[in-house]
A and B are shown apart, each in its own frame.
Chain A
């Protein structure tokens, strides 16, 4: 295999604006309910009563996920048609729309909710890392959309080198051992794995 591609997300600066999700949605013509990139809010903590005031001990952060183009993609393993496949060249996992029959088995197989079934198309849709853009030498749509410049893409090894502090498991993500994902995060201060929740 060539170099495995992946994403990097600077979670500490992600403001949950969902621009990336909407840019992806527009680029891929997705219907309502189908989102190839998704944002999840995690929040908690509370207020301590001190005299007649409340002192906050509150945390909140967003987790942005599309598809992690995993090393052990359960989605690929379970797909009966081979539509869901991992490109041997760059490790990108995508759905061959000519092969998918819309059985939705992959949607049960991904802990990240990446494959999403489209009623309109009768087939499952998933991030292909904007294969068409990459072929044209462009960056994926979500990457160039982020107003905070928080998303990057590239060979995962290079991303890891560039961001030595980045981790695969921020708090709130499924156990990475399930599929060995290729997205790394600079953790939000409250999302350090095993941190508070």
Chain B
């Protein structure tokens, strides 16, 4: 199923990275604002804020590639009342608007933290909507609560590591990045056995997913486990030792990113729908 879904894999990764980085931005600002003032805090986080917005725009563009008939994409908003996909797009747009608003306001020096906080909230809502799309499908590998766990985890890991790579020297970044990354990976790795157990005990489609995971996709699975664990350990070390070497920080981001990408590839690859037979 993966070959058809690669735009979605990319879209969700980009979107979650954007939401995560913006979340990190807001958390760092909260710390900085407590020490100096909001203006300073904002100034210190301009770059990651811009990157987050850029990633979200990229995500939105990629999402078009997933559509068979992209010209009608505007209609995607018509069913916010029932469709998590409509809600997801609505959340994406809300994030975009709030982000644009906050950038403009911040540029003008109208320093307030509120707009940023709202933007971060929209990002979090977006990630939850993304997850709900899959959770409301008929694909047991996706309907599990683990989908939300892992989407949130990816958001935290990519947000934390992204922030770290962009502003390694800024005060507050290390603890925020450290907390986010570790929390994310603990959730993601820790939830895995439960998830696998769930698949094993579930329907035929769930077991088929498990078979794929243990068979054709086992190399990717191991890569994720190794890279994820490595990322967690390395992030802890960087945080505790206050490592500021750019080379180390970039390497950490790369390892973390590849690990999360692996997890996402697996996610789509093992999606076997409930079926007749």
Residues of A at the B interface (CB closer than 8 Å) are 38, 40-42, 63, 65, 74, 76-83, 99-105, 108-113, 117-119, 121-124, 172-174, 178
Contacts and interface: CB of A to CB of B under 8 A. Distances in A.
B83 A111 contact: no
A40 B85 contact: no
B40 interface: no
B258 interface: no
A80 B276 contact: no
8 contacts: A40-B277, A101-B68, A101-B71, A104-B66, A108-B142, A110-B138, A119-B68, A174-B274
Interface stretch (B73-81, B149-157, B235-243): B73-81
B202 interface: no
A103 B138 contact: no
B139 interface: yes
Given A99-B72, A172-B277, A109 B137 contact: yes
B66 A63 contact: no
Nearest to A38: B276
Contacts of A81: 72, 75-76, 78-79
B226 interface: no
Interface of B: 4, 66-73, 75-79, 82-86, 89, 133-134, 136-139, 142, 271, 273-277
A79 B79 contact: yes
A32 B72 CA distance: 25
Contact of A108 (B66, B75, B138): B138
A41 B276 CA distance: 9
Nearest to A122: B68
A172 B204 CA distance: 10
Closest 5 CB pairs of A and B: A102-B68, A122-B68, A80-B85, A108-B137, A81-B75
B137 A80 contact: no
Contact of A111 (B75, B133, B136, B274): B274
A40 B82 CA distance: 31
Nearest to A100: B69
A105 B138 CA distance: 10
A105 B133 contact: yes
A118 B4 CA distance: 12
Contacts of A38: 276
A101 B275 CA distance: 24
Contact of A103 (B66, B82, B273, B275): B66
Contacts, number: 111
A100 B85 CA distance: 13
Nearest to A101: B72
Contact of B69 (A78, A102, A109, A172): A102
B68 to A, nearest CB: 2
A167 B167 CA distance: 64
Contact of A42 (B77, B83, B277): B277
A103 B67 contact: yes
Contacts of B277: 40-42, 63, 172
A148 B273 CA distance: 31
Nearest to A74: B138
B35 to A, nearest CB: 44
A173 B203 CA distance: 12
A123 B137 contact: no
A123 B69 contact: yes
B78 A111 contact: no
B138 A80 contact: no
Nearest to A41: B277
A117 B71 CA distance: 17
Given A105-B85, A108-B138, A110-B138, A82 B75 contact: yes
Contact of B75 (A40, A78, A101, A124): A101
A80 B86 contact: yes
A39 to B, nearest CB: 9
A109 B136 contact: yes
Contact of B78 (A80, A119, A122, A123): A80
A174 B275 contact: yes
Nearest to A98: B72
